[in-house]
A = this chain, B = another copy of it.
């Protein structure tokens, strides 16, 4: 199908989705969960073709693992859809309604965005996750997954469309781009007539390409060069625990700590304990001269190190003279994701919260909490590091917009 036609049909479908009750939307999601489990064999057979191609193309083990679907994984994906069904529906809420002096009642109502384009890599679970959240928030979507997972995605989208039909809901609520060429992806990014928002989900290269090429508005889900700052008054044991959690609890995630900043007044008390904990866990440390003075295994950190999201057992570290220097260093090097201060000082806690320009700013807690589930949103479509529309973990509300509704009785403008 031509992309233009797909866009037009998705836009038309979005007009229908606006009218669905919560009951109907949730019934569709439950059908989807049931049918994914029922059709697991068929999906796994399609997935086997992707895996086979992946092996033939020398896909690395870690990517093959992300691509692989099993009965258990499909059960997990279906369980995720049931959870989305159980979430509160954000649509229809009137956020405010006020009467103006001329008697007009002006309200803001939460409504779907319309048609959402999702561009992602070879993780077939995203096909289901992204659709469920978009659909629950009343949106149609056009998915463009990686070519490596195309057979899996076709099999999954077939189940999604059939489940919608079972519930007398238009199957045009979801489209999958079976043509995974770059040219078609670029056309999708420029289909302003039909697509309201684009959400890229994947690595830094994918996101950069979407930001560079899209004319459709983008919600950028970004990388995380997250910092932990150990202030002069920090509880050193707490600092060690939080750094251990933030750096090492899971390595390949955007909310992991990648860089330490330590006040010089606490360096003698804190650095040896932090270094011991990191070395015990085989984590390489790249530090400035003062940090290097504490242990000869510490290699020098370059400016590039301070700006790097390692996603590995490596951490950069720097000693600063003041909280001002810490804030300046963090704002300069961070990607605006998540940063934490460890402190007992009231004023410094407040300053850090106010002056650090990131989506999530913590006092005395691990940056690993930046996550839709941990924040209580029930699910997330991604973590936004841009400032427009949504910032930080994005739940269902990020997939909505508002419109003004105005009740009059004949008012005209004087």
Contact = CB atoms under 8 A, between A and B. Distances in A.
Interface of A: 15, 18-19, 98, 100, 104, 106, 109, 111, 113-114, 192, 196-197, 211-212, 215, 217-220, 235, 238, 241-242, 244-246, 249, 331, 353-355, 357-366, 368-370, 374-376, 386-389, 391-393, 401-413
B98 A388 contact: no
| 7 interchain residue pairs of minimum CB distance | A365-B408, A245-B412, A368-B413, A389-B389, A387-B401, A360-B404, A365-B411
Contacts of A362: 406, 408
A203 to B, nearest CB: 18
A172 to B, nearest CB: 16
Contacts of A388: 113, 196-197, 217, 219, 388-389, 401
Contacts of A111: 357
Q: Name, among A114, A219, A242, A403, the residue most crowded by chain B CB atoms within 10 Å (CB to CB).
A: A403
Candidate in A114, A249, A392 with the most chain B CB atoms within 10 angstroms: A392
Given A217-B388, A360-B406, A388-B217, A15 B331 contact: yes
Contacts of A404: 359-361, 370, 375, 391-393
A410 B374 contact: no
B411 A369 contact: yes
A366 B15 contact: no
A368 B212 contact: no
Contact of A365 (B366, B369, B403, B410): B410
Contact of A387 (B19, B196, B406): B196
A387 to B, nearest CB: 4
A237 B408 CA distance: 15
28 contacts: A18-B354, A104-B369, A111-B357, A113-B388, A114-B387, A192-B211, A197-B387, A197-B388, A217-B220, A219-B388, A241-B412, A242-B412, A245-B413, A249-B412, A359-B403, A359-B404, A360-B404, A361-B406, A362-B406, A363-B406, A365-B407, A368-B412, A368-B413, A369-B413, A370-B404, A374-B413, A389-B389, A393-B404
